[in-house]
Every structure is written in structure tokens, then in C-alpha cells.
Amino acid sequence: MSPTDGPSPPYDRPVRVERRAVDEAESRHANGPDWDRYADEYQATHGPFLGDAGFVWGPEGLTEDQAGVLGDVSGKDVLEVGSGAGQCSRWVREHGGRGFGVDLSFRQLQHGRRLDDATGVPVPSAQATATALPFRDDSFDVVFSSFGALQFVSDLEAAVAETARVLRPGGRYAFSITHPTRWMFPDDPGQPGLTASQSYWDRTPYVEVEDRTGEVAYVEHHRTLGDWVSLLAAEGFRLTDLLEPEWPEGHERVWGGWSRLRGRLTPGTALFGADWEPR
Ligand SMILES: C[S@@+](CC[C@H](N)C(=O)[O-])C[C@H]1O[C@@H](n2cnc3c(N)ncnc32)[C@H](O)[C@@H]1O
């Protein structure tokens, strides 16, 4: 079981869990195919909650309509990194923005095509990685990720630098991730998920290794809140928002390790908003 809602084997491939260093190439090599394998189950399980043209920032159900972290997207060029099936970008398009998607997983992008047809709101998307965005400098007014890409990337400096590169001066960056404090706890929606069992400061990645082949099958990386602030500042971003959505009354949905039991006591999602000015 991964610490977030990563693709813990829904498919029949036994894996063992390790903690060890994994570089960018190995992370990408593992996570692309893994999200391909997981995509059908991910969309079947979470698609109705996300909404075909909905914008949800995380398992608590906070929407961009409620959060307003991106600002007015109307008339703007907006890139979603780790776009999955492009639900959020479709919301952007329905709000007058020119939404585009990038995702590592071909199967996730195929689900995007399915939703393009179903909704009549197509989201132009490319298969690519967050650390090498296939766009010219100064292409977008807004870049965002809703639990997309960032915690699967080893070279996060490169991903943030790529975001700065493709943003226009005065651009907006927003992203949600698993709240870094969750790293301390087992990824369990029940009682075991309430007892801290490992160090918050231990950045050693969570790795699933396939038993049969010894290949890395899935990787997740961790940074502390302080790491995130430093990374953003180093690229010239000015942090304006750090939202920690509370678990709403009456919300009973369990998503991986997220549940009402845990959500009432500890934050499960961190949502950052930042402005970018070239130096
Ligand atoms: C938890 S899903 C979120 C997808 C979408 N934002 C949503 O809310 O459904 C994470 C997505 O990140 C993508 N991803 C993982 N590593 C990536 C990378 N290095 N570059 C781009 N996308 C990546 C996965 O393929 C997956 O679609």
C-alpha cells in the first residue's frame, strides 16, 4: 500500500515495499507504466467523484469554485501537469480558459479522449513528463496540478524550474499534494493511520519492487513543507496561499488512506498557490 492513493497493485503482481534512493529516470520508468495499469480502476473508482468537467483539489472534495486559488482563468492559457483524464482542464475550458493537459500515462490520456467525446469539451493533451515540458518558454498564464505528477518526481527542482520556464511573467502556479505530515503515518484510513510510525524528515522514497522481476514498479517521493517553500522561492515564486482543507461535515467517502476518521484530526491535502515574476 502506498502512502497516497498511488497504484498499489489493483492488478495481480505481488510487490514488496522498500525505502531507498531512486533517481528521476527510474521513477519515470516505473510510474508511467504503473499509472497505465492503474488508470482504468482509478477512473472507474474516482471518476464520478471528480466529475467529467469538475475541478476537485483532493479527497476532501474542495473544489476550485470554493478555493479560487487559480484566479479568473477566462481568456488565459492554462496548463495542467499530471492531468490524468483532464477533468480539471475541462472545468477550465468551461470557465473560458484555454486548458491543456500533460500526463506521463498514455492510458490516463486515453480516458481523457473518452471524456472529451462524452462531454463535447476536448482538452488538447500531450504525453510528457513534468520535468521536461514540451512547450516553449512563456507559453502559459497559469500552471497547476491537482495531485498530479509532483509527488512522483525525483528531480522536483527540474519540475518547478520547467513550470517557471513555461509561465509568462506574472503567471500563477497552484498545486495540491498529499499533506507532507501524512508521511509519518501508515497509509490506512482506519485507526492504524493515526499513529506516527516514521520520521517526517526522512525523505527516502517509498518504493514498490516487483517480487518476480526485482524491477521498481512504483515510486513516491516526499518533501517537507519547508522543502516546498524553499523550492518555490529558489525559482522566484512568491507563495500566496497554503490551504489545508478540513474534512467537511457529512463527507463519508474513503479514498485510499483518506477518511473521515483521519480527516477530522489531521490534514490530508496541502494546496499551494504562488505568483511568478522573473528575476
Ligand atoms: C493522482 S493522479 C491525478 C490525476 C488528475 N489530476 C486527477 O485529479 O485525477 C496523478 C497523475 O500524475 C501522472 N504522473 C505521474 N508522474 C508524472 C510525471 N512525471 N509527469 C507527468 N505526469 C505524471 C499520473 O500518470 C497520473 O495521471
Say which range, 130-144, 173-187, 207-221, has the weakest mean pLDDT.
207-221
The yes-or-no verdict on residue 24 having pLDDT over 70 is yes
Encode 48-72: b = buried (16+ Cβ within 10 Å), e = exposed: eebbbbbbbbbbbbbebeebebbee
509519518: which residue's cell? Answer: 184
Structure confidence by residue, pLDDT tens digits, 59-93: 999 999 999 999 999 999 999 999 999 999 999 99
Q: Is residue 31 within 6 Å of ligand 1 at its C-beta?
A: yes
d(CA 9, CA 34): 9
- State the helix-helix crossing angle for 106-119 and 87-94, rounded to 10 degrees: 40
* Of residues 6, 61, 53, the one with CA closest to residue 253: 61
Taking 50 as the threshold, does the pLDDT of residue 2 lie above it? Answer: no
The per-residue pLDDT for 5 is: 52
256 close to ligand 1 (CB < 6 Angstrom) = no
Q: Which three cell numbers stand for residue 171?
A: 503567471
At 11 the pLDDT is: 53
Q: Which protein residue's CA is at the shortest distance from atom 3 of ligand 1? A: 148
Which residue's CA is the nearest one to ligand 1's atom 1? 147
Ligand 1 geometric centre to CA of 103 (Å): 6
Percent of the chain with pLDDT over 90: 91
Q: Quick one: cell of 158?
A: 527540474
Taking each continuous run of H as one helix and of E as one strand, the counts in the chain are 7, 10
CATH of 15-276, one of 3.20.20.70, 1.20.58.220, 3.40.50.150, 3.40.50.1440: 3.40.50.150
Measure the N-to-C terminal CA separation of the chain; round to a whole number of Å. 42
d(CA 89, CA 272): 18
Residue 251 has pLDDT above 60, yes or no: yes
Instruction: Classify residue 131 as exposed, middle or buried by CB count within 10 Å of its CB (0-12, 13-18, 19+).
Output: buried
- Could you report the per-residue pLDDT of 210-249, keeping only the tens digit for each? 988 888 999 999 999 999 999 999 999 999 999 999 999 9
pLDDT for 12 equals 61
pLDDT at 266: 97
Domain ranges in the chain are: 15-276
Residue type, 200: Y
* Sequence letter at residue 148: G
- In angstroms, what is the span from residue 148 Cα to ligand 1's centroid? 4
User: Is the pLDDT assigned to residue 1 strictly greater than 60?
Assistant: no
pLDDT at 225: 98
3-state secondary structure of 190: coil
- Average pLDDT rounded to a whole number, residues 44-61: 98
Ligand 1 pocket check for 89: Cβ under 6 Å: no
